[in-house]
Chains A and B, each alone.
Chain A
Amino acid sequence: MTARRIPSSALTSFVVGSRYMPVYLALLLLLVVASIWAPAALGSVALRSVAPYGALLGITALGQMLVIMTGGIDLSVPGTFSLAAVIMVGVGNQSDDRIGVAILTAIGVAALVGLVNGILIGGLKLNALIVTLAVGQVVIGVVNRYGRTFSVQSPVPTGWSEWTTTRIAGVSPVFWIGLVITILLIVAFRYTTVGRRFQVVGANPVASQVVGVRVNQNQISAYVVAAVLYAIAGMALAGLIRTPGISVGTRYLLGPIAAVVIGGASLTGGLASPLSTLAAALFLTGLNQMMLTMGLPTSLQLVVFGLVIIGGMLVSGDRIIKAVERVLRERRRPRRIESETTNSSIGTG
C-alpha cells in the first residue's frame, strides 16, 4: 500500500509545488520570443525602462493579491490609484517642501478607502465585487471634484519626479520599492504569525473561524493594506510622468488582477506567491514592451494581450493540479475496483 502511494504523492507534491511555475515558464518563453523577434527589447535600455513600470504593476498586483487571497476582489483600484496621484499634485502644490505631507495624506486617504471597503465586505458581508465597484465610483467622483481645485494637468513637485527618475544601481527607485515590498510580504507570510494566519484564513475561512481566528479583521486589514499599496503605485507613477491627471489609474483595473491570476493565485481565495505575482507583473509589462518594440498596431496589441491573459489563466493556479489529480484518480479507480473484485472473489470462493 505504501509502495503504491509514494509515486502519486510525489507527483502531487511536484504539481502543487509547481502551481507558480507557469509564470516563470512564461517569462522564459517571453525571453526566447523576444530574443528572436525583438532582440532590442532585451537590451539594457529596454530592461531599464521596463523595470519601474513592471514594479508599478507589481505593487498594485500585490495589493490585489492580498484581497484575492481572502476570497475577495478589489475593483476600486483605478479610483484609489488616481486619488493618490492627484493628491501628490494637489497637496504637493509644486513645492518640494510639501512632498512629505502629500505622501502621508495620500497613504492616509487611501487607507481610509480600504477601510471602507473592508468594513463593508468583511464586516457587513456585502459582495466584494459590487462594493469595490461602487466605492471605486465614489472615489473617482471625489477625484474629479478634487481635480477641479487645481489646474488640470498640473505637475507633481519637481523633487518628487526627479527622485522617481533617478537611478539606484542603474534602475529607478520605483523598481527597488516594488522588490522591497515583495520581500516584506514573503517574509511576513513565511516567518510571522500574522502572515501565516492571513494565509490560513484565505485558504479556509470557515475552519479559521472555528479555531478562533478573526476572519473579519483579516479581510478588513487586507483591503486597507491593498489600498495603501495602490496609493504607493499611484504616487510613483505620478512622479514618473509628472502630470498624472485624474484618469491616471484607469489602466490599472484589469492588469493587476491578470498578474495575480497568472502568478498562480486562485480567484476563489487561498494561497498566493508575492514573488510569482511580481514576476507576472514583469511578464505582462515586458510583453507590452515587446509588442511596442515590434511595432504591432494597437488593435493587435490588445488582442495579443487579452489572449495571453486567457492563456495564463488556463495554465495557472489550481487548474493543473486538479487536472492531474483527476487523471490520477481515474487511473487508480479501475485497479481499485479490480482489487476489490479480486478480494471479493477470494472471500466468496
Chain B
Amino acid sequence: MKRLKTIGLVAVLVLVVSACSADSDTTTTGGGATTTTGAAEPTTTASSGETTTSAGGDNPLAAYDEDPTAADPALVEKALGQVDPSDEASWNIVLASIARANQDLAAAGIDIDKAMECWSEPECDTGSGGDLVMGYADGGGNTVNVWRAVSHMEAVLQALTYPEIGTIVSTAANFDPDVAVHISGIQFLIQREVDFIVGYPDVGVGLRDVLLLAHDAGIPYTSFSAGWVGLPDQEGALVPGDDYLSVVGEDLCALGESFSEVLNTGVGTGEVALLGGTPGNALTLGWQRCTISSLADGVDLVNPPPDENTTTGDTFWFNPAIPDVFRGLLTTSPEIKGYAYEYADGLFTGLQVYDELGIPVQNLTLALRTDEQTLFCDWAERNEPTYNIWFSAGGNFQSRTSVTAAMMASKGAEVPGEIVVPHVMRQVTADDCHADRVDPVVSGTSLVPDEVLALMFAG
C-alpha cells in the first residue's frame, strides 16, 4: 500500500513536471530520473508504471508495420520494471515488440493450439499462408530448461503476430557440450532455407563459421539475452550489425555495475562470489568484468578469474553441476555474504548446499538477473531479515524483440547492431512469490500468458 502511494505520488509529480516543461519540448523520465531534451526528435518517457513513446504524434516505425506507441505500459513495467529508456532506436524496437505481446490471444487472433504446436514441434505451418520461414536455434531447449522453454514460446507467439511468417522451424542443442551439435542445428536451418534465424548462441564464438555461412547465404541471425557471438574484444568474435543482424540484450557492463552496486551496498564489508554459465560465454563474461572492476574496497571477491577473458564460477546453467560450484566456494569461504549470478533458479539449487552443509542462510545479499519463483518463494519461506535479493528481469521477452528486429530488417529497416534493453534492479518482496503460478520455475516477468504457460507446463 505504501509502495502504491509512493508510485502514485511520483507519477503525479512526473505529470506536473512534464506539463510545466512542455513548452520547452523537454521530456522527463521519472522513476529513474533521466531527462532528455530534444528538438523534433522522437522522445520516450518512462515513468512510474507509465511508458509512452511520442514522436510528435507519429509512429516512428510505421513504415515497417510496427507501433511502439501501442506498447501497454503495464506490460512494459512487468517485463522491465521502472526503467530509463535505452537509446531511441533500441527502445523503439523494444516497445514495438512488447506492443505485439497482447495477453488476450483471442483478441490478437492467435490460436493457442497453433502456438503449442509451433512450440513443441520441430516445424509448423502457422496457417497464415505467409512466405517467410523463421528459424529458431536454441543452445538449450524446451525439455532441459524452463527459461529456454518460455523464451521459445515468447518467440513463437511473436512470430504468430506476423502474417508474413508462414513456417517456424525450431532446433535445440539441449546444452550439449559438443559444439558440433550447436553448429549442426544452424546448419540445418541454413539448408532448410529459412529467411532469418533467432536464437541464443550458448557456445559463443564456436558458432562463428556457421553464422558466417548463414550471413553469406543471406540469412540474418539475431540473438537475444545479450547473446553476443563473442564480446567485441574477444578473439574470433563476430561483429553484430556486420556479421550478424543484431544482438538484443542489456548493456552488460551496466548490468555488471548494477550487480556490484547491490553487493557493495548490501554486503558492506565481506566476501562475495560471482557465478556464471557455460565457461567463457559472452553474457557472463560481459557483466563479470564490470562487476569485478566496480566492487568497493572491503568487498572481497573469493573466486576471481585468472584473467579478464575468463569467466569465474562456471555452473553451465546446469542444475546438476551447480552444487559442485557452491561446495567449492563454501569449503573455503563459508562466510560468503553475497553472490552475483544471472540465474535465480540456479541459485536456488545452490542454496540447497547451504542446507546440506548446515550453513545458515543469513547475512546474504544476492544480485540476480532472472526471477524464477522457486528462489523467491524459498526466500519468502525462510523469512530471514538479513537475507535480501535484488533482480533485474527474466528477460524472456527479449526473444520477441529479436523476432521483431528481424522482421523489421526484412522490410528494409536499419536495425542497430546492438539493441539495448534497459534494466533496473528491483528488491524481492513477498509479492514476488506467486506460489500458485503455473510453474514455480517460470520467471515472473515473462510475457507469455498464463493460459499458455498452463498448457506448456501442465504435463
Given contact pairs A49-B331, A293-B328, A248 touches B320 in the complex (Cβ within 8 A): yes
Most buried by B among A52, A149, A172, A245: A245
Interface residues in B300-317 (C-beta closer than 8 Å to A): 302-306, 310, 312, 314
Interface residues of A in 12-70 (CB under 8 A from B): 38, 40-41, 43, 45-46, 48-50, 52-53
Q: Which of B325, B328, B349 contacts A243 (CB 8 A)?
A: B349
Decide: A245 and B144 in contact? CB cutoff 8 A: yes
Does B134 have its Cβ within 8 Å of any Cβ on chain A? no
A148 adjacent to B143 (CB under 8 Å): yes
Contact stretch, chosen from B53-61, B158-166, B184-192, B353-361 = B353-361
**How many residues on chain B are close to A (CB under 8 Å)?**
49
Say yes or no: is B323 at the interface (Cβ < 8 Å to chain A).
yes
B149 within 8 A of A: yes
CA distance A131 to B335 in the complex (A): 49
Q: Is the CB of A151 closer than 8 A to any CB of chain B? A: yes
In the complex, B327 has a CB within 8 A of chain A: yes
Structural contact, A152 and B142, CB atoms closer than 8 A:
yes
Q: Does A105 belong to the interface (CB within 8 Å)?
A: no
Binary interface encoding of chain A residues 287-299 relative to chain B, with 1 for a CB under 8 A from any of its CBs, else 0: 0110111010111
- Rounded to whole angstroms, the CA-CA distance of A309 and B304 in the bound complex is 27
In A245-263, the 8 Å CB interface with B consists of 245-248, 250-251
From residue A137, how far is it (CB to closest CB) to chain B in Å? 13
Q: How far is the CA of A108 from the CA of B144 in the complex (A)?
A: 25
When the two chains form their complex, are residues A243 and B459 in contact, meaning their CB atoms are under 8 A apart?
no
* Structural contact, A244 and B352, CB atoms closer than 8 A: no
Judge whether B279 is part of the interface by a CB distance below 8 angstroms.
yes
Contacts of B196 in A (CB 8 A): none
In the bound complex, residues from chain A placing their C-beta under 8 Å from that of B324 are 53, 288-289, 292
Q: Which of A115-123, A234-242, A328-336 contacts B (4 or more CB under 8 A)?
A: A234-242
| Chain A contact residues, majority secondary structure | helix
Q: Are B457 and A49 in contact (CB under 8 A)?
A: no
A2 → chain B closest CB, angstroms: 56
Q: Would you give the 0/1 interface string for A277-316, flagging 1 where the beta carbon is closer than 8 Å to chain B?
A: 0000000000011011101011100000000000000000
Closest to A50 in B: B327
Map CB proximity to A onto B333-372 as digits: 1 under 8 Å, 0 otherwise: 0100000000001000100110111110000000000000
Tell whether, in the assembled complex, residue A46 and residue B331 are in contact, meaning their CB atoms are under 8 Å apart: yes
23 contacts between A and B (CB under 8 A): A45-B357, A53-B327, A150-B459, A151-B146, A151-B457, A152-B142, A153-B145, A153-B439, A237-B320, A241-B349, A243-B319, A244-B320, A245-B319, A247-B318, A289-B328, A289-B331, A295-B302, A295-B328, A297-B305, A297-B306, A298-B279, A299-B279, A299-B310
Chain A residue contacts of B120, Cβ below 8 A: 148
Beta-carbon contact of A147 and B327 below 8 Å:
no
Chain A residue with the shortest CB-CB distance to B330: A45
Could you tell me the distance in whole angstroms from the C-beta of A226 to the nearest C-beta in chain B? 21
A208 at the A/B interface (Cβ < 8 Å)? no
Chain B residues contacting A251 (CB-CB under 8 Å) are: 320-321
Please tell me if B40 contacts chain A, counting CB pairs below 8 Å.
no
Question: B352 contacts which of A45, A241, A245, A248 (Cβ < 8 Å)?
Answer: A241
Known A153-B145, A242-B352, A244-B320; further 10 A-B contacts with Cβ < 8 A:
A45-B334, A49-B356, A153-B441, A165-B355, A167-B358, A241-B323, A248-B320, A250-B177, A251-B320, A289-B331
A38 to B334, CA, bound (A): 14
B residues with a Cβ closer than 8 A to A are: 120, 142-146, 149, 174-175, 177, 279, 302-306, 310, 312, 314, 318-325, 327-332, 334, 345, 349, 352-353, 355-359, 374, 439, 441, 457-459
Asked if A151 contacts B439 (CB within 8 A), the reply is yes
Contact B349 A242 (CB under 8 A): yes
The distance from the CB of B247 to the nearest CB of chain A, in whole angstroms, is 24
Judging by beta carbons under 8 Å apart, are B303 and A153 in contact?
A: no
- Cα A277 to Cα B328 in complex, Å, equals 24
CA distance A208 to B295 in the complex (A): 69
CA distance A41 to B144 in the complex (A): 32
A45-B334, A297-B305 are contacts. A247–B353 as well, Cβ < 8 Å? no
Chain B residues with CB under 8 A of A240: 323, 352, 356
Q: How far is the CB of B55 from chain A (nearest CB, A)?
A: 42
Q: Which residues of A contact B319 (CB under 8 A)?
A: 153, 241, 243-245, 248
Contact partners of A247 in chain B: CB under 8 A? 144, 174-175, 318, 320
Point out the residues of chain A lying under 8 angstroms from B352, CB to CB. 161, 165, 240-242
Cα–Cα, bound, A153→B279 (Å): 22
A242 to chain B, nearest CB (A): 6
B306 cross-chain contacts in A, Cβ below 8 A: 297
